[in-house]
Amino acid sequence: MRRRTQKLALLTALWTAMVGLGTVSAINAQEAALPAAPHADVLSIGGSVTEIVAALGQQHRLKARDTTSTYPLDVTGLPDVGYMRALSPEGVLSVAPSLILSEEGAGPPETLEVLRAADVEFIEVPDALSTEGILRKIAIIGDALGTPERADKLSAEVETAVEQALADASRPDTDKKRVLFVLSTQGGKINASGTGTAADALIRMAGGVNAVTGYEGYKQLTDEAVGLAAPDMILMMDRGGDHGLADAELFEMPAIRLTPAAPTRSVLRMDGLLMLGFGPRTAEAIRTLNDALYGHGA
CATH number at residue 84: 3.40.50.1980
Amino acid of residue 114 = V
Are residues 185 and 134 part of one domain? no
Which residues share a beta bridge with 87? none
Phi, psi of 14 (to 5 degrees): -65, -40
Instruction: Please indicate, yes or no, if residue 264 is contained in any of the structural domains.
Output: yes
All residues at 6 or more sequence positions from 193 whose CB lies less than 8 Å from its CB, including other chains: 180, 181, 183, 199, 200, 210, 212, 217, 218
| Residue 241 pLDDT level (bands cut at 50, 70, 90) | low
Pairing of strands 99-103, 121-125: parallel
Are residues 159 and 63 part of one domain? yes
Q: Distance between CA 147 and CA 49 in Å, rounded?
A: 15
Residue 282's pLDDT is: 98
The 8-class DSSP code of residue 5 comes to H
Are residues 63 and 117 part of one domain? yes
- Residue 45 near residue 87 (C-beta atoms within 8 A): yes
Task: Say yes or no to pLDDT of 269 above 70.
Answer: yes
Instruction: Please indicate, yes or no, if residue 13 is contained in any of the structural domains.
Output: no
Instruction: Please indicate, yes or no, if residue 150 is contained in any of the structural domains.
Output: yes
Task: Say yes or no to pLDDT of 244 above 80.
Answer: no
Average pLDDT in the 12-20 region?
Answer: 43
Instruction: Please indicate, yes or no, if residue 282 is contained in any of the structural domains.
Output: yes
Average pLDDT, the chain: 88
- Residue 78 near residue 65 (C-beta atoms within 8 A): yes
Strands in the chain per DSSP E: 42-45, 62-65, 99-103, 121-125, 178-184, 190-193, 209-210, 218-221, 233-237, 267-270
Residue 296's pLDDT is: 62
Are residues 203 and 256 part of one domain? yes
Lowest mean pLDDT among 13-22, 122-131, 286-295: 13-22
Lowest mean pLDDT among 64-73, 80-89, 167-176, 232-241: 232-241
Are residues 249 and 236 part of one domain? yes
Pairing of strands 190-193, 218-221: antiparallel
Instruction: Please indicate, yes or no, if residue 36 is contained in any of the structural domains.
Output: no
* H or E stretch at 53: helix 47-55
Q: Where does a domain end: 151, 168, 185?
A: 168
The 8-class DSSP code of residue 80 comes to B
Instruction: Please indicate, yes or no, if residue 222 is contained in any of the structural domains.
Output: yes
Q: Where does a domain end: 125, 153, 168?
A: 168
Are residues 87 and 46 part of one domain? yes
Task: Report in angstroms the alpha-carbon separations of 224 from 15, 107, 254, 264.
Answer: 94, 36, 9, 20
Instruction: Please indicate, yes or no, if residue 30 is contained in any of the structural domains.
Output: no
| Residue 141 pLDDT level (bands cut at 50, 70, 90) | very high
Task: Say yes or no to pLDDT of 36 above 70.
Answer: no
- Count of domains forming the chain: 2
| Residue 41 pLDDT level (bands cut at 50, 70, 90) | very high
Average pLDDT in the 224-239 region?
Answer: 95
Average pLDDT in the 101-113 region?
Answer: 96
Are residues 249 and 140 part of one domain? no
Are residues 212 and 148 part of one domain? no
Are residues 143 and 103 part of one domain? yes
Are residues 243 and 258 part of one domain? yes
Are residues 184 and 108 part of one domain? no
Are residues 162 and 108 part of one domain? yes
C-alpha 266 chain-centroid distance? 27
Residue 39's pLDDT is: 61
All residues at 6 or more sequence positions from 184 whose CB lies less than 8 Å from its CB, including other chains: 191, 241, 242, 243
Residue 14's pLDDT is: 41
Residue 245's pLDDT is: 81
Instruction: Please indicate, yes or no, if residue 192 is contained in any of the structural domains.
Output: yes
Domain span including residue 79: 42-168
Task: Say yes or no to pLDDT of 34 above 70.
Answer: no
Q: Where does a domain end: 168, 198, 223?
A: 168
Residue 186's pLDDT is: 87
Average pLDDT in the 291-297 region?
Answer: 84
